[in-house]
């Protein structure tokens, strides 16, 4: 028996390769499937099944392309309705893979079709359980993702999750390994723990949701303070349920190298110019109107949360990072990349085209400016919980994901001197680029963000812990 967790940090997503006697299965694959095919080829195995724990909302699955490449059936749990051929498994159904077997445990709550997969070893002993978004390390899946046409409330789904966990997972032995679909940073739960695997026993002892004494307490704790899901979640769930274009076609269209003139000709009022270079590089110079989302951060999540899925996208990337960018966009459902700037920003600059920049200032300069500039406004783009845990006096909290609302930016004035920061600097550059794109140019990015500001002795820090959950 061989099990390999294939973890993708920028999405906090875990897919799994499981193999026995030359037969393999893939659980919750990403859209770019080469890693699974390569691993099976390297180990001289054939992929027999593709298991999906549910219709994912935070990424586009590789189920269709992988099925096309291998001929393996796609398996979902009970109550699945898909727009393509799948094997809808029964609760308790078992699948043989070499000398091991995988049993379907229907665990509705995160979604109606959510299922866990219990792996039994060569001796028939429960070895591990792939819990999808039902059970995480230190958390459980969010219960507020009811799909269009479903009348269930968040509380209804949370109640189902309680029943699922207590009837299907609690009875498992404490030494059964827990392999979830996500790790720390994922928006699929409230506050996932730092590890990407655990055991049933550890979760019984430490997971707040599994420790809940009653169903009522469970529902309250799981639903209390849950943040709204990212904007792209329902879009990705719909794509996974209905199907999508072949990734090779998406890559082929996006990998069109455009000269400076061709790049300019492709720009219209709806076009998104997406610059994926590092944020500290972007601020020094960029194509006017570009949005910065650097590949070094949680790129795919922020792209899905902030960009239109309908608008054509043109890329400015570091040389050689064009294909990587297209794939990472495709992971969250963007199939509309129309090409990239050949020669990157340097070609644009060398052609004598207009450029834009974002002024950067250190935290100590901000502290010197605050007492002397009545028009100065600090814009803190962190999440409300981060803001409440400590922020500058008189700072305005505009979370980055709210900047897609035109009314948010409209509240700001060009006459104001805007100083923008986040925790470390990545999100504030995204925010500054969006503000510039919408006509606000009198702004500065605070290098190092809150991490540097709070070190300043002159900083007046306000805490609002009473609003935290």
Domains in the chain (CATH in brackets) are 2-235 (3.60.15.10), 245-350 (3.40.250.10), 359-467 (3.40.250.10)
* Interaxial angle between packed helices 34-42 and 63-70, expressed in degrees from 0 to 180 and rounded to the nearest 10: 40
Token digits for 157?
Answer: 């789904």
Determine if the pTM surpasses 0.85: yes
Cα of first residue to Cα of last residue in the chain, in angstroms, is 43
What are the beta bridge partners of residue 49? 25
Per-residue pLDDT tens digits of the chain, which is 469 residues long: 999 999 999 899 999 999 999 999 999 999 999 999 999 999 999 999 999 999 999 999 999 999 999 999 999 999 999 999 999 999 999 999 999 999 999 999 999 999 999 999 999 999 999 999 999 999 999 999 877 667 889 999 999 999 999 999 999 999 999 999 999 999 999 889 999 999 999 999 999 999 999 999 999 999 998 888 999 999 999 999 999 999 999 999 999 999 999 999 999 989 999 999 999 999 999 999 999 999 998 999 999 999 999 999 999 999 999 999 999 999 999 999 999 999 999 999 999 999 999 999 999 999 999 999 999 999 999 999 899 999 999 999 999 999 988 788 888 888 899 999 999 999 999 999 999 999 999 999 999 999 999 999 888 889 875 443 3
Residue of 21, 72, 20, 35 lying closest to 51 (CA atoms): 72
Strands 135-136, 126-132: parallel, antiparallel or unpaired by DSSP? Answer: unpaired
Dist. CA 70–CA 454, nearest whole Å: 54
Dist. CA 380–CA 410, nearest whole Å: 16
Residue with tokens 């600097």, as numbered in its chain = 425
């Amino acid at each position: 028996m061989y099990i390999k967790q294939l973890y993708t940090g920028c999405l906090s997503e875990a897919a799994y390769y499981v193999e026995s006697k030359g037969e393999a299965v893939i659980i919750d694959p990403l859209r770019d499937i080469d890693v699974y095919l390569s691993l099976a080829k390297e180990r001289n195995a054939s992929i027999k099944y593709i298991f999906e724990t549910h219709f994912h909302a935070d990424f586009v699955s590789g189920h269709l392309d992988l099925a096309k490449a291998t001929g393996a059936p796609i398996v979902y749990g009970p109550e699945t309705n898909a727009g393509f051929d799948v094997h809808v498994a029964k609760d308790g159904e078992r699948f043989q893979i070499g000398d091991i077997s995988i049993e379907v445990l229907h665990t509705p709550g995160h979604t109606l079709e959510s299922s866990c997969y219990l792996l039994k070893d060569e001796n028939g002993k429960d070895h591990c359980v792939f819990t999808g978004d039902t059970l995480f390390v230190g958390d459980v899946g969010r219960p507020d993702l009811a799909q269009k046409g479903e009348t269930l409330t968040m509380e209804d789904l949370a109640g189902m999750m309680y029943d699922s966990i207590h009837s299907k997972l609690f009875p498992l032995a404490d030494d059964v390994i827990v392999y979830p679909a996500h790790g720390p940073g994922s928006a699929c739960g409230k506050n996932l723990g730092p590890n990407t695997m655990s055991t049933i026993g550890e979760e019984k002892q430490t997971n707040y949701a599994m420790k809940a004494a009653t169903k009522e307490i469970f529902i309250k704790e799981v639903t209390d303070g849950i943040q709204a899901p990212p904007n792209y979640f329902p879009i990705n769930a719909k794509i996974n349920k209905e199907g999508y274009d072949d990734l090779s076609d998406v890559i082929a269209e996006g990998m069109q190298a455009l000269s400076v003139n061709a790049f300019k000709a492709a720009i219209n009022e709806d076009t998104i110019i997406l610059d994926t270079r590092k944020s500290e590089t972007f601020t020094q110079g960029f194509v006017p109107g570009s949005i910065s989302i650097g590949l070094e951060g949680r790129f795919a999540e922020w792209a899905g949360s902030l960009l239109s899925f309908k608008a054509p996208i043109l890329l400015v990337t570091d040389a050689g990072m064009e294909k990587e960018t297209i794939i990472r966009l495709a992971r969250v459902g963007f199939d509309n990349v129309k090409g990239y700037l050949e020669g990157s920003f340097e070609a644009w600059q060398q052609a004598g085209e207009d450029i834009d920049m974002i002024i950067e200032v250190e935290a100590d300069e901000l502290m010197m400016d605050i007492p002397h500039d009545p028009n100065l406004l600090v814009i803190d783009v962190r999440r409300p919980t981060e803001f409440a845990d400590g922020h500058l006096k008189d700072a305005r909290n505009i979370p980055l994901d709210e900047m897609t609302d035109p009314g948010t930016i409209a509240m700001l004035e060009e006459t104001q001197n805007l100083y923008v920061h986040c925790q470390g600097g990545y999100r504030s550059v995204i925010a500054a680029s969006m503000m510039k794109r919408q006509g606000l140019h009198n702004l500065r990015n605070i290098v190092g963000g809150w991490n540097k500001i709070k070190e300043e002795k002159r900083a007046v820090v306000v805490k609002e812990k009473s609003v935290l959950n």
